[in-house]
Amino acid sequence: MKILITGGYGFIGMYSTQRLLSLGHEVFVFDVLSKPPSDLAANFSGATAIKGDLLNPLSLIEAIKKYEIERIIHLAALRNNDSKKFPFSAFKLNCEGTMNCFEAARICGIKRVCFASSVAVLGKFELFRRHGYNIDSLPDDVPCSPTNVYGVTKRFCEMMSEQYNNLYDMKIIGVRLPIIFGAGKKSGSRSSYYNELIEKSSIGEAISVRAVVDEKFNIQYVKDSAQAVVCGCLASEEVSGIFNTGGVVLSMADYVKAIRTIYPRSQITIIDDPNATTVDDTCIDSRLAAEVLGFEPEFTLEQGIKDHMATLNS
């Protein structure tokens, strides 16, 4: 199958490309970059590069027609921290860019677009507590009330995907991803310190982190994130909608313990700070994704940590 990935040279895009190629699909990477960063180029061997701007829908339509694309994975987006710093840019890329992707697919007769959404759409979990939800396992259809720019833009994408599905009989799928760790994640992102804890521990370098020690969060290894996206893309033709795709539910204390098990010389200091919360107990129920999309995490936390370093050192 011929599959186009927008933002394909990004963090999740790299692993999604690898997974699709390993499954025998033809992959077309649509990105504002003409080629991947030199240190990552080997990961895209076998994929076709297409330089294009998602904010110019004609370039996307031309690429779809030229290469006879059958399905689209949409990953191009401004990250959480950058969305907070540049909200108008976040609207342009995350909202307008997604609309351009949906519209290009519609014009070209493509039913299936799978896009990366986020648990950031959910908002403060205190709201769910007050309304009687089990916050240890929030379902896919829980009412959303995002509290940051990134979450608002992703919720817009979810709602517009529903409209396109209803109005044009499209089969757009959104997969909600939690916190993600893995080799290739850019420093400075909201959750990049999860990588730093692993990498510094591997060489015995001291590092401290402020956190609510027992606060639960959901974390996913990037190869499982790529699997979730690919499962959504390749799902049967009648499937559409939004799906939670979680990973491992744990606390910062649990995360550090797992790292220390693998790297005994780890020197991580957790500073218990009630004001340092960075997550809203993102404990989502992924059973629907398992039943409908066939998504099941392939990596335990420990396996993900080991594979992270193996990938980084390869």
Q: Tell me: the pLDDT tens digits for 200-210? A: 999 999 999 98
Write down the pTM of the prediction: 0.94
Instruction: Tell me the residue range of the domain where 42 lies.
Output: 2-123+134-178+222-246+284-297
Over range 33-62, report the average pLDDT: 89
Amino acid identity of residue 256, one-letter, is V
79 in a domain, yes or no? yes
Q: Which has more confidence, 145 or 90?
A: 90
Q: Which pLDDT belongs to residue 70? A: 99
Q: Which of 16-25, 73-82, 227-236, 281-290 has the lowest mean pLDDT?
A: 281-290
200 in a domain, yes or no? no
Over range 252-267, report the average pLDDT: 96
274 in a domain, yes or no? no
Q: How many residues does the chain have?
A: 314
- Give the residue among 273, 260, 259, 267 at the shortest CA–CA distance from 210: 273
Pseudo-torsion of CA 243, 281, 188, 231, nearest 10°? -20
21 in a domain, yes or no? yes
188 in a domain, yes or no? no
Q: Which of 19-28, 129-138, 236-245 has the lowest mean pLDDT?
A: 129-138
Q: Which pLDDT belongs to residue 184? A: 85
Which CATH number fits the domain that encloses residue 155? 3.40.50.720
Over range 106-128, report the average pLDDT: 92
Q: Which pLDDT belongs to residue 190? A: 63
Q: Which has more confidence, 219 or 137?
A: 219
Band (pLDDT 50/70/90 cuts) for residue 278 is low
Considering Cα of 40, then 82, then 285, then 238, what sign does the dihedral take?
negative
164 in a domain, yes or no? yes
> How many folded domains does the chain comprise?
1
70 in a domain, yes or no? yes
| Cβ(75)–Cβ(34) below 8 Å | no
Q: Which pLDDT belongs to residue 91? A: 98
Over range 113-138, report the average pLDDT: 85
Mean pLDDT of the chain: 92
168 in a domain, yes or no? yes
Q: Which pLDDT belongs to residue 139? A: 85
Q: Which pLDDT belongs to residue 214? A: 82
Over range 27-56, report the average pLDDT: 89
CA distance 190 to 254: 19
- How distant is the alpha carbon of residue 139 from its chain centre? 18
3-class SS of residue 6: strand
CA distance 12 to 19: 11
Over range 132-156, report the average pLDDT: 89
Note the maximum CA span of the chain.
57
